Structure 1
Amino acid sequence: MKVIVTDKISGKGVDLLKAEGYEVKEAWDIPKEELPEIIGDFDAIVIRSATKVKGDLLDAAKNLKVVGRAGIGLDNVDLKKCEERGITVRNTPNATTDTVAELALAFMFALARKVVQGTTTLRKGDWAKKQLKGSELLGKTLGIVGCGRIGSALARKCNALGMNIIGCDVVHISEACVDQCEIPEVFSQADFISLHLPLLPETKHIINEEAITKMKDGVFIINCARGGTIDEKALYEAIKSGKVGGAALDVWEKEPVELESSKKLLELEQVIGSPHIGAQTAEGQERAGIQVAEAVIEELKKL
């Protein structure tokens, strides 16, 4: 069996694949546009978020039987075409659950206590102590939109901090510390709103101008899920007007950041962000690499 790894994963994951006797090609340095030329002979492909298993690449993958995604999101895989061709797709939903939840929590602290503004003013030589009065998380209401693994992990962490947790999802929320509500209630009651849901037609711009009008004045918005779930232009206007107190964004409508709407948000001191690093910890990536290798091995052994 031949396996191609097109996005870099933990060396322990690669070693597991090799230990099974598979021929493993470490191809993460090959330009993505050249992958269709070489993928034809491979039985399995291991990816993260950079490789798009769709279009020309999937068409050229004549021998492909398994797609292994080190991570959670599968928006870079044409699931419909894979199903039609009998290609099994596996991801690692548990590998970086706490990794992403911790970033969302870090963003909440940073927004509430103006940590980034404190750093930037110090670097400018300013002592802005009086201007940087923050707020506490204790006693505040966190609204979680999407209470799957990551949303539930964030809920548990924030419950331990003394926050009130409300959430909404399309299914029953089993996490005991979350009071399940409809999305309008989450928007109207929360002091902090954190998104943890995939980008689908029904979730695109789930936070838009209309939704923002229902929110508390001064609400903080956190997005460590997927770009496109927030209307960036509407968010910009809401922050400028003071309706939204601040936002922390790890994901953007188009990545890397190039849309004018994203760039305008980054001009605002009330906005802090990062370049889609939610799953980027040494521990999380090691777990993801090992788990995706184990999943690919499991599927290849069925053939």
Structure 2
Amino acid sequence: MSKPTIAVLDPYHPEALAKLKNNDEVEVLVRPDSSQEMIYERANAVMLRSDSRLTTSEFEKYSQLKYVVKQGVGVDNIDLDAAVKAGVEVYNTPGLNSEAVAELALSLALCLARRVCEVDRAIRDGRTVIRSQTLGRSLSRKVLGIVGMGNIGLAFAKKWFAAMEGTIIAYDPNHKGSSWSDIFGSRMRQVHDLGDLLKEADVVSLHVPLTKATTALISRREFAQMKQDAILLNCARGGVVDEAALLEALDSGKLLGAGLDAMEVEPPTQEVYGSLLSHENVILTPHIGASTVETQARSGVAVAELAVNLVLRNGGGNRVV
């Protein structure tokens, strides 16, 4: 009998690929070394990150596909209805990227508040930086509003609590938050209306998946509710923020700044996002929240192990559909 076949559609850490290739019980097809036609014909499972998209037409091309394993929690690049129709099970790996994404969110907040990137660009351009005219803002003991208190939101809350000694307001209709008081005590509270968070938070950080309910979750009405000189962070998914409304909020001076690791068009380019980049108080990164050596090695190996277990009928993993 032929071995079950796992296809790797996106770049994975070498440790993950070694985990696959050293297993004699499976065959491994790595793109672009393997032809796409071969992958369509032979793959029993595919591993992917956020680079590839699996649409209805893509699922129709696979003849033996049974499993899709996505690195990370977001599965908006996979047509889940099409997967169900094709009889394909979809799995993700939540929680493995949490610390790295939370680190980036905290980094963006600090860089915006202290104008780090703005000053760095000025120095590189040969401009004189006058310290008395380049004052930043302190985030110590300020209020962090977290929209989406899953693994990433909780990790960011812990870092804010410890490093900034600040308070936290959480908005997440899917979580009751009963255990949060054990960690944060009176310095954290949950609200059931997004507007209650927006009107108090000095920093608003988004950590929700992209769904029909969260598309344009932050738009003109929400920007109007935010505090003057608040910071907006999106390390979640492009589309959660109405980007036209964001530009208006920046143009009007409503926001102190915006740190964006997730955009509607990725990777962000000067051609598409030149208007946003004209603001010194905007930082764009190309969806690198999970891009640390440690995280990519650990989560890549976890995806590889899950894919192997699935094709060998050992089960396990977090099934989405």
- The TM-score range, normalised by the shorter chain, is over 0.9
Q: Percent identity?
A: 37
Listed as ranges, the gaps of 5+ residues in structure 2 are: 315-321
Q: Give the letter aligned to residue 295 of structure 1.
A: L
Name the structure 2 match of 1:153: 155
Name the structure 1 match of 2:239: 228
Superposed, which structure 2 residues align to 1:38-187 within 5 Å? Answer: 38-125=39-126, 126-160=128-162, 161-171=164-174, 172-173=176-177, 174-176=179-181, 177=184, 178-181=188-191, 182-187=193-198
Matched, 1:266 2:277: yes
* Distance in 2 between residues matched to 1:82 and 1:67, nearest whole Å: 9
Tell me, what secondary structure is at the counterpart of 2:153? Answer: helix
* Distance in 1 between residues matched to 2:37 and 2:110, nearest whole Å: 44
* Distance in 1 between residues matched to 2:61 and 2:280, nearest whole Å: 46
Q: Give the letter aligned to residue 16 of structure 1.
A: K
Is the contact between residue 223 and residue 251 of structure 1 (CA under 8 Å) also seen in structure 2? yes
* Superposition deviation, residue 15 in structure 1: 2.3
Name the structure 1 match of 2:29: 25
The superposition leaves residues 243-284 of structure 1 with CA deviations (integer Å, 9 ceiling, x where unpaired) of 111101111112233697733111111111111111111111
Output the TM-score relative to the length of structure 2.
0.88
* Superposition deviation, residue 4 in structure 1: 0.9
Which of residues 276, 284, 292 in structure 1 aligns to 2:295? 284
- Report the more deviating stretch, 168-177 or 274-283: 168-177
Q: Give the letter aligned to residue 25 of structure 1.
A: L
* Distance in 2 between residues matched to 1:256 and 1:138, nearest whole Å: 32
Name the structure 1 match of 2:9: 6
Tell me, what secondary structure is at the counterpart of 1:189? Answer: coil
Q: Give the letter aligned to residue 195 of structure 1.
A: L
Tell me, what secondary structure is at the counterpart of 1:101? Answer: helix
* Distance in 1 between residues matched to 2:41 and 2:84, nearest whole Å: 18
Tell me, what secondary structure is at the counterpart of 2:103? Answer: helix
Is the contact between residue 253 and residue 262 of structure 1 (CA under 8 Å) also seen in structure 2? no
Is the contact between residue 7 and residue 39 of structure 2 (CA under 8 Å) also seen in structure 1? no
Tell me, what secondary structure is at the counterpart of 1:52? Answer: coil
Tell me, what secondary structure is at the counterpart of 2:199? Answer: helix
* Distance in 2 between residues matched to 1:28 and 1:99, nearest whole Å: 28
Q: 1:259 to 1:186 in 2, by over 3 A?
A: farther
Name the structure 1 match of 2:317: none
* Distance in 2 between residues matched to 1:257 and 1:76, nearest whole Å: 17
Q: 1:261 to 1:16 in 2, by over 3 A?
A: closer
* Superposition deviation, residue 28 in structure 1: 4.2
* Superposition deviation, residue 29 in structure 1: 6.0
Is the contact between residue 232 and residue 261 of structure 1 (CA under 8 Å) also seen in structure 2? no
* Distance in 1 between residues matched to 2:190 and 2:302, nearest whole Å: 31
* Distance in 2 between residues matched to 1:240 and 1:222, nearest whole Å: 17
Q: Give the letter aligned to residue 153 of structure 2.
A: G
Is the contact between residue 206 and residue 235 of structure 2 (CA under 8 Å) also seen in structure 1? yes
Tell me, what secondary structure is at the counterpart of 1:135? Answer: coil
Q: Give the letter aligned to residue 22 of structure 1.
A: V
Is the contact between residue 66 and residue 88 of structure 2 (CA under 8 Å) also seen in structure 1? yes
* Distance in 2 between residues matched to 1:135 and 1:259, nearest whole Å: 28
Tell me, what secondary structure is at the counterpart of 1:45? Answer: strand
Q: 1:77 to 1:292 in 2, by over 3 A?
A: same
Output the TM-score relative to the length of structure 1.
0.93
* Superposition deviation, residue 23 in structure 1: 0.8
